[in-house]
Amino acid sequence: MAKSLLQVAQAVKVPDEWYMYLRMLVIVMLATMFVSMSTWMVISEKTTVESFEMVGLVGSSVDAIQIVAGSFAFFILTVFALKNGAGNVIFRVLIAILGVLAVLDILGLLIADLDLEIL
């Protein structure tokens, strides 16, 4: 997935500075994925309910970081794909949908963090 994101970034002609940011976001996404998987490996037979809940909270925080990093990465791809007019109409529509979903992910995390209710 990481290589595919970077290849799409090259295809839509993301400038060097933003490509570097995209690479950093991909590294953060991969690191948080490994941390998220490893948090559940630390649970042993002697684990108490409190430590199990703590591991769950740490895992949720790491997942939130991964969602934000992925959303910003897709948002960068969306902006430059639409700005540079890369690809055909179907590609632009799919990229635009990914951009909208990325923004909705970020807004969803903000709303969940603020404990706001949407009717």
119 falls within a domain: no
* Tens-place pLDDT, residues 85-95: 777 888 888 88
pLDDT digits (tens, 9 = 90+) for 60-100: 888 889 989 989 998 998 888 888 877 788 888 888 898 89
For residue 27, pLDDT over 90 is answered with: yes
Domain count, the chain: 1
Q: Within a domain: residue 57? A: yes
Q: What is the pLDDT of residue 56?
A: 84
In a domain? residue 16: yes
What per-residue confidence (pLDDT) applies to 85? 77
Dump pLDDT digits (tens) for 33-69. Answer: 899 888 878 777 787 888 888 888 888 888 889 989 9
Alpha-carbon distance of 2 to 14, in angstroms, equals 15
Q: Do residues 33 and 69 lie in contact, with contact meaning Cβ atoms separated by under 8 Å?
A: no
Query: Residue 70 is part of which domain span?
Result: 2-114
Q: Decide: pTM greater than 0.85.
A: no
Residue 38 lies in a domain: yes
**Is residue 102 a part of any domain in this protein?**
yes
